[in-house]
Amino acid sequence: MKRIGIVGAGFAGAVIARSLAETGNFTVTVFDTRNHIAGNCHTERDPETGIMVHRYGPHIFHTNNEQVWNYICQFGTMMPFVNRVKAVSKGQVYSLPINLMTINQFYKKHLNPSEAKAFIENIGEKGIADPQTFEEQALKFLGKELYEAFFYGYTKKQWGIEPCELPSSILKRLPVRFNYDDNYYSSKYQGIPEEGYTKIIEKILSHNAINLKLNTVFRTQDSDAFEHTFFSGPLDSYFAFREGRLGYRTLKFKEERANGDYQGNPVINYTDEDVPYTRITEHKHFTPWEQHDKTIVFREFSSLCGQNDVPYYPIRLANDKSLLEKYVKLANQTSNVTFVGRLGTYRYLDMHQVIAEALETAANFIEHTKNQSGERFPAFVHSPL
């Protein structure tokens, strides 16, 4: 029985732990510094209202990967859920992503799909041939008015810098639909666990070969006790930040409670720059199959991540990428440790992507141990660079 250490009890660590434990060839110890499992996906019942609260912000599961969908469904009932986001701009409420309803409402028109497509193409800034920044990408495909109404202020609040300083890759595709589809995602499978994400991960970790240690700080030297370690904590933290700290954005939440229904929707974005928060989330609407007389809302504020904050989004601008290269080099020189997950690989990954990569990493490691070639297992199955 090979001893394996896993740092982090979120999806990355839990899925790898379970995959290895089920072979019967490994004993796994999972460490987490927090007093709960599930990482930033942690959900818990509010004792006063009974509402299932997404403690670190809302998580809607969506994927086109049937293997990933079937995997998570093994550990709990996934209830159908469609995320229909609204946005408030200059005191008016619109649908997101930008769709035919948004366009017609914003411009006070009655366009059909082909007319709307021609209209948007006409208002886009044609002088931008090869957009290099977020701002150029938005202006090219949406024009100035839609960009300023829905993207400029929100993006500046979310990232803390001017959108003209962000790479165009952040706006990966044309953020507009020429129909009335207001489903925020286009994935084949969409849902939320009936009993929350924490219960899902609790079941994934429920195996005799898995030992869970919460409220426990994993130190670099602790890797010596294991034949291999999978590290899903911040990459720079494993090396005690010796090259400096990688940049993250963090989120702060102002919680409010009330009777009845606060906003009638799970998520409403506030896109104006002079509104300090980015969005308001109302948690009882993430479980529409339940009924609650009271409500809990979170106002969400984005800021630069400090040393004692919870990291959410890797920034990955030029300075961070330069620093990342140094940490990747250190990782590749480190034996018997593999870095996984959003924090371990310093990439923005959704839950379904984390699960898919964890399953792949575990399968590769199992095959690697069977071959006994003497070659080291890689520090990254998916490179951060």
Which burial class, exposed, middle or buried, applies to 126 when counting CB atoms under 10 A from its CB (0-12, 13-18, 19+)? exposed
Distance CA 96, CA 247 (A): 28
CB 52 within 8 A of CB 286: yes
- Classify residue 373 by burial, with Cβ atoms within 10 Å: 0-12, 13-18, 19+: exposed
- Which tokens in the block code for residue 40? 């930033």
Q: Which of 194, 195, 243, 350 is catalytic?
A: 350
Q: Of these residues, 279, 316, 342, 347, which one is catalytic?
A: 279
* 245 catalytic residue (yes or no): no
**Catalytic status, residue 242:** no
Whether 272 sits among the annotated catalytic residues: the reply is no
Give yes or no: 274 in active site.
Answer: no
CA distances to 3, 78, 83 from 51, rounded to whole Å, are: 39, 17, 18
Catalytically annotated residue among 48, 173, 274, 375: 173
Given 300, 327, 342, 346, which residue is catalytic?
A: 300
147 catalytic, yes or no?
A: no
CA gap 260, 181 in Å, rounded:
28
* Catalytic, out of 249, 299, 312, 376: 249
State how beta strands 210-213 and 26-31 pair: parallel
Task: Specify whether 350 is catalytic.
Answer: yes
List 45, 66, 255, 348, catalytic entry: 348
Distance separating alpha carbons of residues 123 and 148, to the nearest angstrom: 13
Residue 193 · residue 199 · CB < 8 Å: yes
309 classed as catalytic: no
Tell me whether residue 198 is exposed, middle or buried, using C-beta atoms within 10 angstroms of its C-beta: 0 to 12, 13 to 18, 19 or more: buried
Tokens of 51: 């509402």
Residue pair 63/69 in contact (Cβ under 8 Å)? The answer is: yes
Q: What are the catalytic residues? A: 173, 177, 249, 279, 300, 348, 350
